[in-house]
Every structure is written in structure tokens, then in C-alpha cells.
Amino acid sequence: MPGNDPVAAGVTIFLAIALGPAVLVGLLVRAPALVRRVVALRRRSRPAPPVPVGPPLERLVADLRRLDRLRRGPPPSTRLRRVALLAAYDDVLLAACRATGVEDPPLRAWVDAGGTAGALDAGRDLARLRTEAALEATGVRIDPPGPAAA
């Protein structure tokens, strides 16, 4: 019967006893390199963690509050400065909307269509107000109560 050959079984046992320790020592010597390769392959196959696209939300909110205080304060001395202030406020407002996940803020269409030229339009003021409301609905307070808002 095949499989009952005592010579083959004896040779197999002899080879296992003779070569087993050498194979075991070889595996132990090469184990650190094998582990490093496996770890490197796993790192390459794992997707990279997401990288933030813009500035942190805290900085955007601080800039938004600062620009809002300037916008609500005494008007700038020239029309150019007023347009620049409103355009900067609109840019930061849209960046804060993007950071908080506000989908399609109303101000986006006005900024895309008019750029800085239409910063003083009444329709853009309404879109700005609606965008502020959408941003505040996410929990961001643009004009918080207290002494810091003065």
C-alpha cells in the first residue's frame, strides 16, 4: 500500500530531525526583515489620512468675527476700502461655509457672477445675510453676545 512505506517514513523523519534546526534558525535570523517588509507593504496599501484643505475653522471664525466688526463699525473712508472689506468678508464667509459643510450657500452665485465689483449690491447683501444664517445653523456664531462682540 502506498503511504505505508517504512523507508520513506524513516527518510522523512531523518530529514526533519537533521534539517529542522537549521531551517528554524534561518527563519529566526530573517524574521525581522520579513516583519519590516510586511509592515511596509501594509503601510503602502493603507490609504493616507485625509489632509485638511484650508485653514482651521477656528481661524476662519476669528477672521470672520474681526471682519464683521469692521463691517458693522464706522464705514471705511473710501469706496475702494469698503468694497475690499466686503469682498474679504465674503471670501472668509464662503471658506467657513466650505469648512462646516454648508451646501451651496446663497452668496456663492453672487461672488461667482460679480466678483468684487458687485460687493455693494443690495441683492448680494441679502445673499450674505442668508449665508450667515446658514452658517449659524451649523453652530458657528458670527456675532456672539458679550464684551468681545462690542
**Rounded CA gap, 129 and 105, in Å?**
10
Average pLDDT score over residue span 69-94: 91
pTM for this predicted structure: 0.63
pLDDT digits (tens, 9 = 90+) for 29-69: 888 888 898 888 888 877 777 777 788 999 999 999 999 99
**Higher pLDDT among residues 9 and 96, named by residue:** 96
Give per-residue pLDDT as tens, 18-38. Answer: 888 888 888 888 888 888 988
Cβ neighbours around 89 below 10 Å, total: 21
Can you spell out the DSSP letters for 80-109?
Answer: HHHHHHHHHHHHHHHHHHHHHT--S-HHHH
